Structure 1
Amino acid sequence: MLINKWSKKYGGIFVISGAMIKADHETVMSDPSYWLNGEIGSVAIPTHLYKIVVKCQDSDQVACNGSASNHKPCGGKLEALSFILPHSKSASPQCHSAVSQIFDHVSSIADIEKLTGIDFFPELSAELQREKLEVEGLRGSNKADARRKNIIYVVGGILVIGVVFGLGFMIGWFANQRGVNQGQQGGNLCPTSSPTAQSTYSTKPATTQSTNSATPEQSTTAPPATTQPATKQPTTPPATTLPPITFPPCSITPAPLLVISLNGFRWDYLNRGQTPNISAFASKGTQADYMKPGLYPVSHGIVADNFYDPNFQETFDFKGVNGTQEKWWGGEPIWVTANKNNITTASYSWPGDQANFQGYHPNYRFPPNMNATTMDRVTQFFQWLDMPADKRPQLITMTFDQVQLAGARYGPTSNEVNQEIKNIDNAIGAITQGLKQRNAEHCVNVIITSDHGMKQPSCSKIRYLNTYIDVDKNQVVNQGAFGGILVNGGNATEVVSKIKGRSSKFTVFKKEDLPFRFHYRNNTRIPDVIVIMVDGYLVRRIYDANYTACGLATSGWDNLEKDMRTIFMASGPGFHSSKKIKPFLNIQLYNVMTKLLGIKPAKNNGVLGSLRAMLRNPGVATPQAPSQPGPVCRIPADTALFEDRARCSSCVCPYCRSVVKANLTLYNQALNMTTQEESAAQMMNFPWGIPEYRVSLDTCILYQNHYITSYSNTYRVPWFVGYEITTKEASGFLKRNDCFRRDLRLSIASQASNCTSYSRSGYDRGHMAPNGDMNFDAEAQANTYLLSNIAPQIHNFNAGPWLNLESLTRTWAKKYGSVYVLSGSLVLGDRNKIWSDPSYWIHGAIDTVVLPTHFYKIFVKCQTTKKMADSKNEKAIDPCQGKIDVISFVLPHLNSRKPQGQLTDVYLLDHTTSIRDIEALSGINFFPNLPSQVQDEIEVPVASEMWAK
């Protein structure tokens, strides 16, 4: 009926009709219900039928077919409308009016082409094909590929996979008062010599915008714009378009959050050409180059897949019955936080979802099922999504483990893994298509990520612990990519010493000595000794001829290993479109989820940090914990007091070079700085503000022209020292002239460290601002020998790892134009023990000079050429214009030049950590004048590689 009406109204229309079957080929060929009279191989019964209607934009240009190859019906100006109708027994399946029922099933020509494998406009030029693709909604996808591949299609919440069979199509020509058919020649409707007939095709949709084709930047609640009537001004009334189509706003509110974990999905699996749907999903939303696994086991308590708990005196097995017992799990899962805020949740095989936390569990949950397919999960997702609003989960978490299982069995490079990657990609395509069918593509937030990557070991790459230690006396509780050893009644230091240095394929630590970036020390479930394997090597207790799993892919190596990296991408109303973000640790995702759900997060290890940039509405950054500036210690205004300090017999240490000693009065006078000179020193060396304290510390800020110090009056070592070093300064050439001396700004009795403190102590006087960074100026160099700039260091440490970092400082300054450096001491341990144990103090004398347990360095550089902001307000000065790169290190104070026998850069990279961790260890806020958001962005990440030299 509509066809006849439109034909009469517009003077003639093109019509293309056809049938299709949406089902798996094997199902169709084995199921009699798909065939007429139940006879397989006879005539198939279509599941859907389609119609495409094309008309001329101008009523004067009646659509026609010309014989000349350059003939363009309608002068090349066409409009189209198309439908896909389910083959239903009901005349009105939804109890709608006939016209409403038809327009409920409007579709784009592109969708019909994709489903049938037919190109309905083969003669269009490449440019016009591009326009048609944009108009019809393919958004640049490759139709040729679509025709070759199986189609994933979701109808009414039921997932159907398979090839869509085009049962044939029919093109009909209907003309008002003329029974002209498509094959008829010589129709006099459009003269071939008309200039209009030579014009370019311009296919135009019935609507210019719909919820189906809205970009993420468009509001999902705004009504779609419709095509305006044609504006030509002939003597006859202007032609109108086909009836406008409107789609309702999101019917699914508030926006659900779907979190998908593709377990074992390594970051480079996206480069194998097997993931068109995942890649399309990523391109339209937000994507990170990769994500690093990095949850803090000390907080959630699951320190390994298997571990021993000395308090319970039981062994935990992730896959065993106790994996569902609440007592093993710490922290607060996202579904608990959501449940506490009256949000309905659902989970499909997510780790821990079978356990109760604080009496909570997901409202809907599916236990792990090895037989469940990817499409079983997709079907379940849509069953949840299609629930009534009062029962529909707003948070859905789903684990897809097929890639990991295939990788573990066949290896990351196997055909089996590639096939599972394809299957996963098909599932993501099904989810995307199903959301489109519901007009919900921009109503649901979807996160796709993974737990970790995968690596292929080898049975020839194993180290056996029984060759180094007595494994009967010491219990080996972890084997594989890392080893864990419980020292039963023995000495962990002795065990480490027996293993360390025996192979270049592992490093070994007491758990309290592990690099801080692991966050793997303060939990009784963590073994006493940890063996970390490298280069894909495995560790085993003893040789076992029956052990064959050594050839299977696994995980568990250091997250600095590239093969451990995984994926992150997200799309939906909460995310920006076409957004690239830097790599990050997965501890930040919990806060992203709570932000999307509009709920307050529980206390956790992460912050939004750099991930704020991917959210449309990240809100105001959480303020940093309050901090206070330290007091400034200056040259005494009392002349007598100053002269008393200057005349002391031990103010200048022995072996002071005469060339320096002759100028000490001048150098000491340079310490008597005016407030203007102090401000200038701060602007040069601490453009983001002098670091402040979040804990109560007895300190002094000491200004020098070329660096600034925070000195601990309690421990009599520098807490931090900071300065900028430029390319020119890094090329200084002054000869080293030692002359250590007491700082005259400090009280002899209660603050200052003395020359006698270091005399015959067995420790080097370790510089925080080294002589080598200040040898461009005699005063700057001489003032690096102030004892307020010195901390006791073991010689092998001072001449090994610390010297290596000092050398890197000058290398990076020369390469990048300038770098800002912060160095300092850390004393980690129970305060009561520190103040009662002589081993923490130089010469064993408590309350003199402390022996730091660790030292740190933080490097800051501009991403682009340094520019000083034009502002008189020193707090507004930002030499990097907010574009800052950082890398930071915490080194254990050990008596070794090569503590693990590693190459210098490998060892240093092992001990990178986040600035936020150093702040937690030191009680310092290093960038107090930076906006809170910028602090989060630069302080939370941990470097994945060393800066280029």
Structure 2
Amino acid sequence: MKKTIIQYSFLLVLLALSNWAGAQQTPVDTTQRVNKQNKNSVAQQQKPYVILISADGFRYDYAEKYQATHLLELSKNGVQSASMIPSYPSVTFPNHYTIATGLYPAHHGLVNNTFYDKVKKEKYSMSAKDKVRDGSWYGGTPLWVLAEQQNMLAANMFWVGSEAAVKNVRSTYYYDYSEQIKVDQRIQTVKEWLSLPEERRPHFITFYVSEPDHAGHSYGPEAKETERAVKMVDSVIFKLTEAVKTTGLPVNFVFVSDHGMTSVDRENPIPMPTAIDLEKFIVPSSGTMVDIQAKDKADILPLYNELKKTAKDYDVYLKADVPAELHYSAKDDRMDRIGDIILLPHWPKVFSNRKPGVGYHGFEPLKVKDMHATFMAWGPAFKKNTKIPSFENVNIYPMIAQILGLKITDEIDGKKEVLQNILK
């Protein structure tokens, strides 16, 4: 019997509740993982230091909109871009890993927060810890792996991909992601890392904060709760910089976000098309993109043609025909993880069979400016009082590699020359 989308959605809710209940009974692991064998080479001990910070969902205009005074002051002593353009889809896991690898999502393999791998015949989800920690899901060479391969120690205070052994390498210091580790403890840990003897001191560190994304989703980008979240992040960054200052080290800070946030039409969502037969198709994601995987290739064109005839408030693409500027078509899909058919809603519409939440991201960044992220940088490597135009987030990777004096060993999508002029 043909399953309906509503039945499918109900089953997903039940499964999510079951997973949540199980998670409450699982002890939280807040142990720091340390590889005691690794050491900086003598040459790498002389290299600069970089802390890459991400505030999830920190939209490009939040700092000025909500007067994040510390960040505005810090960026005056360094560099600030008009915005940073996330890669498509503009969601958390793909973009954090893009920043870490210099590759578009379809090139590094994390094509969404949730997706289906045809070869593995398995679904990856950011909530599935066994998948998150399995290095076979991740392509590219993250910055911490690049550093470790060249005998420079790295440390991760949370980043997408850092819990997995990518290319059989993890950073010398890392934690499994846990909100149970309070921000003050995270800052203290960074200070302790930078206070280690030179041969054991990490030169590349990541630092992740989950706000203001949570507030933006729950209350929308215009809400007082989101303003408070932005100011909380501002305070955290100030505390971090003050703690690092006590080490006396010449540390460079790169502050970014993965995507922005926008308000959507809550009263008129797009119902999931009833033409999608879940006996024939797998639909791992919806909302700001519906990704449709066919179990039998013969079913692709009939469904595509039917959807094209009835589509309202959304575009229908075969994988081969996704617009080139999204870097998300069949020719980009190096791990064969993008859906056979893609449905893209017209902002501010989203796909949902119930009243959607207030804040969303995931839309096409070149069409919806609210998707744009933040970029600021300061420290001895950067020019001061410098404003630059918007740029794509794939270009962070070669800039950080240059500061650290690391040789890029793989082909990447980022270009060194894009951010060359912000360095001294």
| TM-score above 0.5 | yes
Name the counterpart of 1:493: 301
Name the counterpart of 1:536: 348
Q: Number of paired residues?
A: 357
Instruction: Give the aligned residue type for 1:397.
Output: T
Q: After the TM superposition, which residues 860-899 of structure 1 pair with which residues of structure 2 at under 5 Å, given as runs? A: none
Shift of 1:357: 1.1
1:817-861 deviations in whole A, cap 9, x for unaligned? Answer: xxxxxxxxxxxxxxxxxxxxxxxxxxxxxxxxxxxxxxxxxxxxx
Shift of 1:432: 2.9
Alpha-carbon separation, structure 1, partners of 2:165 and 2:149: 13
Q: Would the aligned equivalents of 2:255 and 2:374 in 1 still touch at CA under 8 Å?
A: yes
Q: Would the aligned equivalents of 1:591 and 1:607 in 2 still touch at CA under 8 Å?
A: yes
Q: Pick from 308, 324, 330: which aligns with 1:516?
A: 324
Shift of 1:317: 1.1
Q: Secondary structure at the match of 2:198?
A: coil
Shift of 1:515: 0.7
Instruction: Give the aligned residue type for 1:257.
Output: V
Segments of structure 1 that go 5 or more residues without pairing to the other structure are: 1-251, 617-949
Name the counterpart of 2:82: 289
In proportion to residue count, which structure has more helix? 2
Name the counterpart of 2:360: 554
Shift of 1:323: 1.3
Instruction: Give the aligned residue type for 1:310.
Output: K
Instruction: Give the aligned residue type for 1:285.
Output: G
Q: Would the aligned equivalents of 2:323 and 2:329 in 1 still touch at CA under 8 Å?
A: no
Alpha-carbon separation, structure 2, partners of 1:597 and 1:461: 49
Shift of 1:569: 0.9
Shift of 1:581: 1.3
Instruction: Give the aligned residue type for 2:140.
Output: G
Q: After the TM superposition, which residues 372-387 of structure 1 pair with which residues of structure 2 at under 5 Å, given as runs? A: 372-387=181-196
Alpha-carbon separation, structure 2, partners of 1:447 and 1:534: 33
Shift of 1:272: 2.5
Alpha-carbon separation, structure 2, partners of 1:328 and 1:610: 29
Name the counterpart of 1:573: 380
Alpha-carbon separation, structure 1, partners of 2:136 and 2:268: 37
Q: Would the aligned equivalents of 2:317 and 2:343 in 1 still touch at CA under 8 Å?
A: yes
Name the counterpart of 2:405: 598
Instruction: Give the aligned residue type for 2:413.
Output: N
Shift of 1:493: 3.2
Q: Secondary structure at the match of 1:551?
A: coil
Instruction: Give the aligned residue type for 1:558.
Output: E
Alpha-carbon separation, structure 1, partners of 2:278 and 2:120: 23
Instruction: Give the aligned residue type for 2:389.
Output: K
- Report which structure shows greater RCO (CA 8 Å, sep ≥6): 2
Instruction: Give the aligned residue type for 2:362.
Output: G
Shift of 1:457: 2.7
Shift of 1:595: 0.3
Instruction: Give the aligned residue type for 2:293.
Output: L
Instruction: Give the aligned residue type for 2:240.
Output: I
Q: Would the aligned equivalents of 2:114 and 2:285 in 1 still touch at CA under 8 Å?
A: yes
Alpha-carbon separation, structure 2, partners of 1:372 and 1:504: 45
The verdict on how the C-alpha distance between 1:263 and 1:271 changes in structure 2, with shifts beyond 3 A counting, is: same
Q: Would the aligned equivalents of 2:266 and 2:357 in 1 still touch at CA under 8 Å?
A: yes
Name the counterpart of 2:202: 393
Q: Pick from 208, 218, 221: which aligns with 1:409?
A: 218
Instruction: Give the aligned residue type for 2:262.
Output: K
Q: Pick from 246, 256, 268: which aligns with 2:61?
A: 268
Q: Secondary structure at the match of 1:330?
A: coil
Q: Would the aligned equivalents of 2:292 and 2:339 in 1 still touch at CA under 8 Å?
A: yes
Segments of structure 2 that go 5 or more residues without pairing to the other structure are: 1-44, 88-97, 99-103
- Percent identical among aligned pairs is 28
Instruction: Give the aligned residue type for 2:61.
Output: D
The verdict on how the C-alpha distance between 1:281 and 1:504 changes in structure 2, with shifts beyond 3 A counting, is: farther
Name the counterpart of 1:332: 141
Name the counterpart of 1:564: 371
Q: Pick from 235, 258, 269: which aligns with 1:451?
A: 258
Q: Would the aligned equivalents of 1:445 and 1:573 in 2 still touch at CA under 8 Å?
A: yes
Shift of 1:318: 1.6
Name the counterpart of 2:166: 357
Q: Would the aligned equivalents of 1:465 and 1:471 in 2 still touch at CA under 8 Å?
A: no
Q: Would the aligned equivalents of 1:374 and 1:423 in 2 still touch at CA under 8 Å?
A: no
Instruction: Give the aligned residue type for 2:114.
Output: N
1:571-606 deviations in whole A, cap 9, x for unaligned? Answer: 111111111111111111110111011011132111
Alpha-carbon separation, structure 1, partners of 2:338 and 2:357: 27
Shift of 1:350: 0.5
Instruction: Give the aligned residue type for 1:398.
Output: F
1:902-936 deviations in whole A, cap 9, x for unaligned? Answer: xxxxxxxxxxxxxxxxxxxxxxxxxxxxxxxxxxx
| Structure 2 residue 122 is the aligned partner of structure 1 residue 314 | yes
Alpha-carbon separation, structure 1, partners of 2:144 and 2:268: 41
How does the TM-score come out when normalised to structure 2?
A: 0.80
Instruction: Give the aligned residue type for 2:149.
Output: K
Q: Secondary structure at the match of 1:425?
A: helix
Instruction: Give the aligned residue type for 2:82.
Output: D
Shift of 1:326: 1.0
Q: Would the aligned equivalents of 2:56 and 2:258 in 1 still touch at CA under 8 Å?
A: yes
Select between 502-511 and 554-563 the one with higher mean Cα deviation.
Answer: 502-511
| Structure 2 residue 206 is the aligned partner of structure 1 residue 367 | no
Shift of 1:501: 5.8
Alpha-carbon separation, structure 2, partners of 1:458 and 1:378: 39
Q: Would the aligned equivalents of 1:469 and 1:498 in 2 still touch at CA under 8 Å?
A: no
Q: Secondary structure at the match of 1:383?
A: helix
The verdict on how the C-alpha distance between 1:412 and 1:492 changes in structure 2, with shifts beyond 3 A counting, is: same
The verdict on how the C-alpha distance between 1:417 and 1:329 changes in structure 2, with shifts beyond 3 A counting, is: same
Shift of 1:263: 0.9
Q: After the TM superposition, which residues 205-220 of structure 1 pair with which residues of structure 2 at under 5 Å, given as runs? A: none
Superposition CA RMSD, Å = 1.9
Q: Would the aligned equivalents of 1:481 and 1:536 in 2 still touch at CA under 8 Å?
A: no
Q: After the TM superposition, which residues 630-645 of structure 1 pair with which residues of structure 2 at under 5 Å, given as runs? A: none
Q: Would the aligned equivalents of 2:280 and 2:299 in 1 still touch at CA under 8 Å?
A: no
Shift of 1:364: 0.5
Shift of 1:264: 0.7
The verdict on how the C-alpha distance between 1:436 and 1:324 changes in structure 2, with shifts beyond 3 A counting, is: closer
Alpha-carbon separation, structure 2, partners of 1:579 and 1:276: 17
Q: Pick from 48, 51, 55: which aligns with 1:258?
A: 51
Q: Bigger radius of gyration, 1 or 2?
A: 1
Name the counterpart of 1:584: 391
Shift of 1:402: 2.2
Q: Would the aligned equivalents of 2:123 and 2:284 in 1 still touch at CA under 8 Å?
A: no
Shift of 1:283: 0.9
Q: Would the aligned equivalents of 2:79 and 2:422 in 1 still touch at CA under 8 Å?
A: yes
Alpha-carbon separation, structure 2, partners of 1:267 and 1:553: 15
Q: Would the aligned equivalents of 1:374 and 1:424 in 2 still touch at CA under 8 Å?
A: no
Q: Secondary structure at the match of 1:397?
A: strand
Q: Would the aligned equivalents of 1:474 and 1:488 in 2 still touch at CA under 8 Å?
A: yes
Shift of 1:504: 4.7
The verdict on how the C-alpha distance between 1:322 and 1:267 changes in structure 2, with shifts beyond 3 A counting, is: same
Q: Would the aligned equivalents of 2:47 and 2:405 in 1 still touch at CA under 8 Å?
A: no
Deviant stretches of 4+, over 6 Å: none
Q: Pick from 133, 155, 170: which aligns with 1:346?
A: 155
How does the TM-score come out when normalised to structure 1?
A: 0.37
Shift of 1:437: 4.0
Alpha-carbon separation, structure 1, partners of 2:236 and 2:274: 48
Alpha-carbon separation, structure 1, partners of 2:386 and 2:133: 38
